Amino acid sequence: MEHLLRPIYQERASQPNTLGVIIVEKMQEVSPSTDNFDTILFILIKEADVPVFTKHYTFGTQKAAMHLITEKQLRKWLLLGTNRKVVEWILNGRIVFDRNEFVQELKTELKDFPFYGRKMKMGIEFAKLIRRYLEGKVLFENKQFMDAYHHIVESLHHLARLAVFENGLHPEVTVWAQVKQIEPAIYKLYDELLTSEEAIDKRLELLFLASEFFIHSRTKDGAAHILDVIQSKEYWTIQDLHEQEELKNYSVNLEVFIEFLVERGYIDIEKVQTKSESIFHRYYKLGTKRID
């Protein structure tokens, strides 16, 4: 199909705003990684009013999708891990145009996985894990076992992705195949949840106990990024933390994560008097339990 698409991507490649063009071919009859299209034309551009622009094409019995993505949008996806397909496209797709080796350098960056970017990804994933775990535990204690089951499955997915980040890799679409190789203990936990013949309440009880251990053992690494930010100045209000550029990526999970770290001594509270004698402002600072 490439010869049919060539005029389309050559026109784009001639524009100075275009950074690179990648072609991804469908490898299986059912192909979630290409949204079941036969060919993906992935075009990276410097900037645009619309950060994501898509067109669909038909050639006889075949179909293709063209995605124009701005560099800013791509960086956001890569940072937050909200579009895992693009990592696969960049790493495994065929480069047909590459301005100033932009795509090649991007591939190298993804393979090297800079440590700072990894710390942020781990922090965001750990915060998601904490929220799911805590919500699931409350449901379990209230004997809402089916809803608790849903939350523990979600928390295990976050734990799996966290383990992949720890190993310096990017989570793939088939993340459990990765985890089976690099963290068999976590894979076994997930497998037991799905295949055990124990009653659901017994399975959940064991899973929450095991999850608590995994969370405790990963708190130091999972909190490293947010504590790096907090130690950059003496005190923070919660609004300061919400507005800090990197912490914006924690989104709705920021406050539950902060409270989790307060309870464990990684973040301390500083009380500041308000106009009322009995009410204090709550400021946050680096806790006594330091992370080196």
- CATH architecture, range 113-218: Up-down Bundle (1.20)
CB 250 within 8 A of CB 124: yes
In three-state secondary structure terms, 56 is strand
Q: Enumerate the β-bridge partners of residue 53.
A: 68
In three-state secondary structure terms, 31 is coil
* Pair of tokens at residue 244: 């800090």
Name the pTM for this structure.
0.80
pLDDT band at 282 (very low <50, low <70, confident <90, very high): very high
pLDDT, tens digit, 9 for 90 and up, residues 213-230: 999 999 999 999 999 999
pLDDT, tens digit, 9 for 90 and up, residues 78-97: 887 778 889 889 988 999 99
* pLDDT score of 115: 66
Among the residue ranges 103-107, 113-117, 182-186, 231-235, the one predicted with the least confidence is: 113-117
- Selecting from 2.60.120, 1.10.155, 3.30.1370, 1.10.10, what CATH number does the domain 223-292 have? 1.10.10
Q: Which sequence spans correspond to the domains of the chain?
A: 2-111, 113-218, 223-292
pLDDT, tens digit, 9 for 90 and up, residues 235-250: 999 999 999 999 999 9
Distance CA 196, CA 215 (A): 22
CB 265 within 8 A of CB 288: yes
Q: Please write down the long-range contacts of 133-141, taking CB distance under 8 Å and 24 or more positions apart.
A: 133/208, 133/211, 133/212, 133/215, 134/256, 134/260, 136/208, 137/208, 140/201, 140/204, 140/205, 140/208
pLDDT over 90, % of the chain: 73
Nearest to 140 by CA among 219, 206, 217: 206
Distance CA 64, CA 179 (A): 32
Q: Class of 2-111 per CATH?
A: alpha beta
CB 211 within 8 A of CB 193: no
pLDDT, tens digit, 9 for 90 and up, residues 22-41: 999 988 787 888 888 999 99
In three-state secondary structure terms, 57 is strand
pLDDT band at 290 (very low <50, low <70, confident <90, very high): low
Does residue 156 surpass a pLDDT of 80? yes
Taking all residues of the chain, what is their mean pLDDT, rounded to a whole number? Answer: 91
